[in-house]
Every structure is written in structure tokens, then in C-alpha cells.
Amino acid sequence: MNRFSRQTILPGFGIEGQQKLSDARVLVVGAGGLGCPALLHLAAAGVGTIGIVDGDTISESNLNRQTLFGHQHTGKPKSSTAAEILKEKYPDLSFEVFSDYLNTNNALEVISLFDVVVDGTDNFGTRYLINDACVLLKKPLVMGAIYQYEGQVMAFNFGQIALNYRDIYPNPPRRDQIPNCAETGVLGVLPGIIGTLQAAEVIKILSGVGKVLAEKILFFNLKNSSFYEVAIQANPSGRNNLPDSEEDFRSRDYNINCGLAESINWEKAMDWTLNMNDSLLVDIRETGEKPLLEKEFLTRIPMKKIKENAAALSAYENILLVCASGQRSRQLAHELKQQFPEKKIFSVEGGILHPSSPLNLNKNDT
Amino acid sequence: MEKLTVKAFGIIAEKLPEQEFYFPQQQDTEELLNSLYDEYPDLRNMDFSLAVNQQLIQQNTRLRGNEEIALLPPFSGG
């Protein structure tokens, strides 16, 4: 009996399947909510070499879903920390750490080192970047993505038709309708399920067991415990949008930010508010929230009432929203942008509590 | 009486009264989209792909009766 005996005795998997995993090189992009469970299962299954790409560090609010990490890891880099944790569990496996985000300069070089790619990123820009790079390099790509209580899983560049993300969604969404990823709620178990499904597809691709999710997109709804499959096929107009060469790929801009509405820093926000009469700074905190701020340049409209107070905004071109920390203002900016697509809606970064906020009473006291 | 079953996913479901509902039968998917846009104007600004009977479609597709329509937005979260 060895570590893999329970899978090598499986009909159809066997010693051969295990050997294929052991010989394989898998790249996991994003060691976050999807990447952590995917990494854990790929390593436990015995994938010989695992690359981990992530430029981010671990924060406390990651821990509900980024299950490789614990409290003691906060502040540390995700990619190298994930590799250390897994190496300690499975010393015979190799881990390759890429501590930068993927971009048009490094993506082809990094991806070309691996056999299969797992996309566990959290934004459309990187998803299109990885998709296009994997199409160019003909690398199988297992993409997973989530939205609130739902997830989707797809396996690309695999099988007879070799489909890709642009066959389903030919272009990235328009900027003004991308929900803010960083602040969208997520129940940690959802990416746990989707990331684990991604690992399962990778293991099937490598070992040859089962039927890979290659011509279908699989949706999962956690609230209903339901799956929904949709068959996909090649989309010529989507394929027209693919880069036709590595040079073309390198020259493209995949920097599609998660920002529906835009954010603005305090310095600029105050400059506009005080010097431009088409800009309105709005305190959207609920009535009764402290500290109560009475400033000439600040208009108070609680967020619940702002949509019915459209008249108060009508005279202004730029609406700058402020809350305590910048979270609610980002959410509301997104909603208001849909109501007023012609206006520029900004969320003031960091809100009232930001160190450079002129409304931060704590700071002014000291 | 023939009718369509509409299933909405992700952020699209937030723009509609229910995640799944019946809708009067339409001739084709273009007519369906226009009727949905009239009924639910918020949908107009959304990007999504359309599936008919669990098959993704890429162009206007004739509807013959009682199809299941899925409105499928891309998800970006991880």
C-alpha cells in the first residue's frame, strides 16, 4: 500500500493513470478561492509538478474560502506560501512559484512550461488573457468562475473541437457592467466546490479517465443544489477576436478592471468638489451613523434614499460617493451607474476612515 | 398553449422577478430578446449568451414551441 493505492486500484485508472499524473506539469493561476481547493486536490492526487501563479498576499478576509491558508499566514504571499504548505504535506512533489500576476509579457513564457492550465483568477481581464494565451499555445485550460451562489466550469482546448472561452463569450463585458469582484459576497464553500470540480477535470485530462467537460459549460447553483449543462460549439465571430500571433497577443491590452463605476482618491475628490461646480460629494451613510459630518462641501443623502432623490443629483456631472470605508460606496456606485449611465459615478477610495480623508476626525484630532 | 421556460443565471437573475419563469411563446430568439427587453429594461445593458434547450446559440434561432431558454452571463469571481 502506498499513498495512491486507493486510486491505482480503481478500474480504468490504475498504475498507468498514476504515472501520468506523476509525470504531469499543471499550472494553477490564482491561489485564491478556486485555486486553493484545486491545488490541494491536484497535489493530493500526486500531480508531479505544480506551478502556482499569484501576485497577491493573504488577508484575513480570504480565509473563509482560501482553505490552504490560516490566520498565521496573513500578510504572506499567496503563491510561495501555498507551495510551502503543499511541499510540507507532499515532499516528493515539485512546486514552481510565480509571484507576479500574469500579463502579456510573461504569460506565454510561463504557460508554455506546463501541460494543463487551471484558471482560478478573479477578473475578466486575466481570464481573456489566459484563454487567448492557451489557444495560441494549444494548452488545455480548465476554467472555473463564480458569482455569489453560482459557479461555472469549462474545459478548453481539449478534444476534437478544441473550444475556448470566446466561443461562449466572444468579448469581455463592457466595463460599466462588470460587478465588483473583490467585494461581491461569496460563501466559501462555493469556490471549494467549483475549484474541486476543476481539479477533477484536470485529473481526467491527464489520466484519460472519464469524459472531460470539453464541449459543455457546467453551471452549479449552490442555493438549489442544481447543475445545468449547456452544449457549446465553435463561434466564428468569437474566434475572430483571438490574437492571431504571439506578437499580436503581446500588443493587446487585457487590463479590464473590475470597475463598473470608477474610484477616485481623496485628493482628486476634494479638488473636484471644491473647484468644479459639476461635481457633488455625497455622504451616503445611513442617518444616525457617526461621526455626524456637517460640511459645506458635503451633501448628505443616505444610500437607501439616493435612488428616489434623483433630482438632487441631476445638476451634476460627477457624483462622488463617500461612506465609512469605501465598500458601500463602491457597491452603490455600481447601482447608480446603471440608473444614470450618462453620469460619471465615483466611489471615494477608503471612505471617511482613509488616512488622507479630510473627514477623518481621528486623524484631525492627533 | 405553448410557452417558453426562461432560466436566468448569475447577475441576470437579479434583473428578473424570478430565477425561472414562463414566458409567452415567441417566433424566434430575436423576438424573444426584444420582448424580454421591453418587459425588463434592465436586461438591455447586460451581456449574456443564450441557450435554447441547453444548446448555446450564436445567431437568431427559430423557436417551435415550449423551449427552455437559458440566459447565461459570464462569471468572473474566483
CB atoms within 10 A of CB A224: 12
ipTM of the complex: 0.96
Picking from A147, A216, A228, A260 by the largest number of B CB atoms within 10 A of its own CB, the best residue to mutate is A147
Residues A253-288 have pLDDT tens digits of 887 654 445 778 898 899 999 988 889 999 999 888
A304, A286 Cβ separation under 8 angstroms: yes
Identify the closest residue of chain A to B20 by CA–CA distance. A224
**Domain check: are A145 and A293 in the same one?**
no
Residues A95-148 have pLDDT tens digits of 999 999 999 999 999 999 999 999 999 989 899 999 999 999 999 999 999 999
Cβ of residue A343 closer than 8 Å to a chain B Cβ: no
Q: Which of A173, A191, A228 sits opposite B70 (nearest CB)?
A: A228
**Domain check: are A301 and A235 in the same one?**
no
**Domain check: are A30 and A168 in the same one?**
yes
Q: Mean pLDDT over residues B35-62, rounded?
A: 95
Q: Which chain B residues touch A if contact means CB-CB below 8 Å?
A: 7, 9-11, 42, 45-47, 49, 51, 54-56, 58, 70, 72-78
**Domain check: are A176 and A236 in the same one?**
yes
Q: How many CA atoms lie within 13 A of A17 on its CB side?
A: 20
Residues A39-93 have pLDDT tens digits of 999 999 999 999 999 999 999 999 999 999 999 999 999 999 999 999 999 999 9
Is the bond leading into B17 cis (omega within 30 degrees of zero)? no
Report if residue A123 sits inside a domain. yes
Nearest to A22 by CA among A201, A196, A204, A206: A206
Q: Which of B42, B51, B75 sits opposite A152 (nearest CB)?
A: B75
Nearest to A95 by CA among A50, A55, A53: A50
- Whether residues B78 and A338 touch (CB distance < 8 A) is answered with no
pLDDT higher than 90, residue A356: no
Dihedrals phi, psi of A89, to nearest 5 degrees: -70, -40
What is the domain partition of chain B in residue ranges?
Answer: 3-72
**Domain check: are A266 and A141 in the same one?**
no
Q: Which helix (H) or strand (E) holds A180?
A: none
- Grid coordinates of A118: 487551471
Write down the pLDDT at residue A326: 85
Q: Mean pLDDT over residues B26-54, rounded?
A: 95
Cβ of residue A161 closer than 8 Å to a chain B Cβ: no
A78, A31 Cβ separation under 8 angstroms: yes
Place of cell 493505492: A5
Report if residue A280 sits inside a domain. yes
**Domain check: are A147 and A268 in the same one?**
no
- Whether residues A338 and B46 touch (CB distance < 8 A) is answered with no
The amino acid that residue A366 corresponds to is T
Q: Mean pLDDT over residues A188-193, rounded?
A: 97
Identify the closest residue of chain B to A124 by CA–CA distance. B76
Three-point CA angle A150, A155, A161, nearest 5°: 135
Would you state the CATH architecture of domain B3-72?
A: Roll (3.10)
B52, B61 Cβ separation under 8 angstroms: yes
Write down the pLDDT at residue A181: 43
- Report the SS3 class of residue A142: strand
Write down the pLDDT at residue B13: 95
Write down the pLDDT at residue A179: 56
Q: How far apart are CA A169 and CA A187, in angstroms?
A: 26
Report if residue A256 sits inside a domain. no
Alpha-helical segments (H) within B14-66: 29-39
| Residues of chain A with C-beta less than 8 angstroms from the C-beta of B12 | none
Report if residue A255 sits inside a domain. no
Q: Which of A124, A338, A341 sits opposite B76 (nearest CB)?
A: A124
Q: How far apart are CA A103 and CA A81, in angstroms?
A: 21
- Whether residues A30 and B54 touch (CB distance < 8 A) is answered with no
Dihedrals phi, psi of B77, to nearest 5 degrees: -70, 155
pLDDT higher than 80, residue A1: no
Cβ of residue A226 closer than 8 Å to a chain B Cβ: no
Interface A-B: count of C-beta contacts within 8 A: 93
CATH of the domain at A171: 3.40.50.720
CA distance B1 to chain A (A): 26
**Domain check: are A108 and A11 in the same one?**
yes
Q: Which of A217, A250, A283 is the last residue of a domain?
A: A250
Residues A208-256 have pLDDT tens digits of 999 999 999 999 999 999 999 999 999 999 999 999 999 999 988 887 6
Nearest to A116 by CA among A33, A31, A206: A206
What DSSP string runs through A30-99?
Answer: --STTHHHHHHHHHHHT-SEEEEE---B--GGGTTT-TT--GGGTTSBHHHHHHHHHHHH-TTSEEEEE-
pLDDT higher than 80, residue A175: no
State chain B's mean pLDDT as an integer.
95
Write down the pLDDT at residue A177: 57
Q: Which domain holds residue A332?
A: 262-365
Place of cell 494553477: A28
Put simply, the chain A residues between 279 and 338 with a CB less than 8 A from any chain B CB are 338
| Residues of chain A with C-beta less than 8 angstroms from the C-beta of B7 | 228
Q: Which of B11, B54, B56 sits opposite A233 (nearest CB)?
A: B56
Q: Which of A27-31, A251-255, B58-62 has the lowest mean pLDDT?
A: A251-255
Number of structural domains in chain A: 2
Indicate the Cα dihedral angle A280, A283, A287, A288, nearest 10°: -140
CATH of the domain at A281: 3.40.250.10
- Whether residues A124 and B74 touch (CB distance < 8 A) is answered with yes
**Domain check: are A187 and A290 in the same one?**
no
CA distance B4 to chain A (A): 17
Picking from A198, A230, A233 by the largest number of B CB atoms within 10 A of its own CB, the best residue to mutate is A230
Q: How far apart are CA A285 and CA A313, in angstroms?
A: 16
Q: How many CA atoms lie within 13 A of A125 on its CB side?
A: 15
DSSP A172: P
Report if residue A257 sits inside a domain. no
**Domain check: are A203 and A287 in the same one?**
no
Q: Mean pLDDT over residues A5-9, rounded?
A: 96
Identify the closest residue of chain B to A230 by CA–CA distance. B54
- Whether residues A177 and B9 touch (CB distance < 8 A) is answered with no
Report if residue A158 sits inside a domain. yes
| Residues of chain B with C-beta less than 8 angstroms from the C-beta of A241 | none
A66, A33 Cβ separation under 8 angstroms: yes
**Domain check: are A113 and A48 in the same one?**
yes
Q: Which of A230, A250, A270 is the last residue of a domain?
A: A250
Report if residue A62 sits inside a domain. yes
